[in-house]
Chain A
Amino acid sequence: MNVILLYLLLLKATVTSFSGLTSMPVVRHDFVENRHVLTDRELNAAVMSGRTAPGPNGLYIVSVGYFIGGIPGACAGCLAVMTPAFLIIPMLRYLGARAAQPAVKSAIRCVMIAASGLVVSATVPLARDALTSPLAIGIAVASFLFLVLTRKDTIWVVMGSAVAGLLGRLL
Chain B
Amino acid sequence: MPQPSLKRLTWIFLRVGNLTFGGGDPTMAALQSELVVARRWLSAERYALIYGLARITPGTNLVAFSAAAGWQILGWMAAVLAVLAMTVPPSVAVVLLTSGYRAFNSNPLAMAAIGGMLAAASGMMASAAWQLLRPEIRVGRRLRAAVLFLASLGASLGFSMSPIVVLGLAALVGIFWRTPE
Whether A74 sits at the interface, judged by CB under 8 Å, is yes
Give every chain A residue within 8 A of B17 (Cβ-Cβ). Answer: 54-55
Once bound together, how far apart are the Cα atoms of A109 and B52, in whole Å?
12
Whether B4 sits at the interface, judged by CB under 8 Å, is no
Once bound together, how far apart are the Cα atoms of A21 and B126, in whole Å?
11
Contact with B along A87-112 (1 / 0, CB 8 A): 11101100110010011111111111
Assess the B174–A108 pair: CB atoms within 8 A.
Answer: yes
* Given A78-B87, A113-B144, A17 contacting B94 (CB threshold 8 A): no
Contact with B along A143-171 (1 / 0, CB 8 A): 11111100111110110111111101110
Chain A contact surface mostly: helix
Whether B139 sits at the interface, judged by CB under 8 Å, is no
Give every chain A residue within 8 A of B130 (Cβ-Cβ). Answer: 116, 144, 148
Assess the B57–A85 pair: CB atoms within 8 A.
Answer: yes
Contact with A along B140-181 (1 / 0, CB 8 A): 010011001111110011001011101101111111011101
Once bound together, how far apart are the Cα atoms of A58 and B73, in whole Å?
25
Assess the B23–A49 pair: CB atoms within 8 A.
Answer: no
Once bound together, how far apart are the Cα atoms of A124 and B154, in whole Å?
12
* Given A82-B83, A89-B79, A126-B121, A103 contacting B175 (CB threshold 8 A): yes
Give every chain B residue within 8 A of A58 (Cβ-Cβ). Answer: 59-60, 62-63
Most buried by A among B97, B123, B160: B123
* Given A20-B24, A86-B83, A63 contacting B94 (CB threshold 8 A): yes
Assess the A139–B123 pair: CB atoms within 8 A.
Answer: yes
Bin the interface of chain A by size: 35 or more
Assess the A144–B123 pair: CB atoms within 8 A.
Answer: yes
* Given A19-B24, A51-B124, A165-B114, A92 contacting B50 (CB threshold 8 A): yes
Assess the B175–A107 pair: CB atoms within 8 A.
Answer: yes
A20 to chain B, nearest CB (A): 5
Give every chain A residue within 8 A of B65 (Cβ-Cβ). Answer: 88
Give every chain B residue within 8 A of A91 (Cβ-Cβ). Answer: 53, 56-57
* Given A45-B114, A119-B128, A66 contacting B174 (CB threshold 8 A): no
Q: Which residue of B lies closest to A126 (CB)?
A: B122
Assess the B164–A109 pair: CB atoms within 8 A.
Answer: no
Once bound together, how far apart are the Cα atoms of A15 and B56, in whole Å?
11
Once bound together, how far apart are the Cα atoms of A16 and B156, in whole Å?
15
Pairs across A and B, CB under 8 Å, 6 listed: A49-B101, A56-B24, A106-B175, A118-B166, A130-B121, A140-B126
- Identify the A interface with B (CB < 8 A): 14-22, 24-26, 29, 41, 44-60, 62-63, 66-67, 71, 74, 77-78, 81-89, 91-92, 95-96, 99, 102-124, 126-127, 129-131, 135-137, 139-148, 151-155, 157-158, 160-166, 168-170
Extra contacts besides A20-B24, A130-B118, A148-B131 (12): CB < 8 Å: A29-B163, A53-B94, A55-B86, A56-B61, A88-B65, A96-B49, A115-B132, A115-B167, A117-B148, A117-B151, A120-B129, A137-B119
